[in-house]
Amino acid sequence: MAYLGMDLNRFILEEERKHPDATGSLSMALTAIETAAKIIAAHVRMAGLADILGQAGKTNIQGEEVQKLDEFSNEVMIKHLSDSGQFFALASEELDEPLCSPKGVNGKYVIAFDPLDGSSNIDVNVNIGTIFSIHRRVKGTEEDFLQEGYKQVAAGYIIYGSSTMFVLTTGNGVNGFTLDPSVGLFLLSHPNMKIPEKGKIYSINEANSKKWIDSELTDYIQTLKDEGYTSRYIGSMVADVHRTLIKGGMFGYPADKKNRSGKLRLLYEAAPMAFIIEQAGGKATDGRTDILQIKPTDIHQRTPVFLGSKKEINQLIEFIK
Ligand code: AHM
Ligand code: MG
């Protein structure tokens, strides 16, 4: 029974013990993310009450300023990750430049994150999430962020949905933990997650189809329809990918005439999700290149992304090539 079983902290420590030379640094890093996630989750739950608790929409009952949820999440991530001392540098989708904290001068890792993805869904009470990607510090410069996705040491996301879930990979499979709010623990609820070889759902913003640069995509989607697929699109990558991981199928955000390199960011969104999906037995591509093989040239670069079950992604690659 999951309730009596493993929680995320013990899981992290037991994973660490499998590596006799581990220093505990990655465990501390992941624990800092876990703490930040719990704080963000608690605030997401209160989001709809901000106006009621706030005064004139500016300050809350304690006289503190009411912050937008995405700004708040960004600050919580920065504070907890910096304070952990495990990260030499942090890059956030919300910041123009990476940050180095004095505590992290000897940190072994760099982390890129999207503190609250799916911002258009915050005001309408629909799932949002936090995504993170950890690489080893190599040179001790900004270049450490520009490593290929296959070099990630760990990646994960936290989905704030009907329950809060933490989905994690350290390159040894994927495990999902559900927050039990009564005890404040993330309990292992989805051990060794595997994406189905094939699904029945496609997830893409079809309103953009006339603007897609790869026009073959329209034929591909039509083929899926002919094969009896149904469509789901939430507009929060975390939620759309989470469903794809569990149920199979494909999620995509292609390049279009408005977003010529796609909309989603390689470092904060595409690469960590690709790592998770591939670790669960699926596949991720920009249409031509495996997402995890792309060498970034800029921390904020965007990329088209298609990920999901092997069957659907291989089929898509056949259409595009
Ligand atoms: P955000 O980082 O500003 O929240 O934007 C990213 C989001 C993703 O979560 C989602 O997959 C995509 O934007 C949806 O975009 P669109 O509304 O163009 O379909
Ligand atoms: Mg985002």
Whether 316 has a pLDDT exceeding 60, the answer reads: yes
- 111-136 pLDDT, tens digit per residue, is 999 999 998 898 888 999 999 999 99
How confident is the model over 39-55, as a mean pLDDT?
Answer: 76
Q: Taking a C-beta distance cutoff of 8 angstroms, is the pair 177, 8 a contact?
A: yes
> Rounded mean pLDDT of 284-310?
98
Q: 94, 104, 101: which is closest to 137 by C-alpha? A: 104
Locate 130 and state its tokens: 């936090």
Residue spans per domain, the chain:
8-190, 201-320
- CATH for 8-190, options being 1.20.1250.20, 3.90.550.10, 3.30.540.10, 3.90.320.10: 3.30.540.10
User: What are 10-20's pLDDT values in tens digits?
Assistant: 999 999 999 88
Atom 7 of ligand 1, nearest CA residue = 118
> In this predicted structure, what is the pLDDT of residue 119?
82
pLDDT tens-digit readout, 142-153: 999 999 999 999
Q: Is 263 in the pocket of ligand 1 (CB under 6 A)?
A: yes
- Ligand 1 neighbour 119 (Cβ under 6 A): yes
| Buried-exposed string 269-289: b where 16+ CB fall within 10 A, e elsewhere | bbbbbbbbbbbbbbbbbbbee
CATH architecture of 201-320: 3-Layer(aba) Sandwich (3.40)
Question: Which H or E element spans position 37?
Answer: helix 25-45
**Residue 298: which residues within 8 A CB-CB, separation 6 or more?**
146
CA of 185 to the centre of ligand 1 (A): 29
What was the pLDDT predicted at 112?
98
Q: How many Cα atoms sit within 13 Å of 238 on the Cβ side?
A: 30
Ligand (nearest to CA of 112): 2
Q: How far is the CA of 209 from the centre of ligand 1 (A)?
A: 16
Q: Is the CB of 186 under 6 A from ligand 1?
A: no
| Per-residue pLDDT reduced to its tens digit, 184-200 | 999 999 999 999 999 99
The reply to whether ligand 1 has any atom less than 6 angstroms from the CB of 312 is no
Residues recorded for the chain: 321
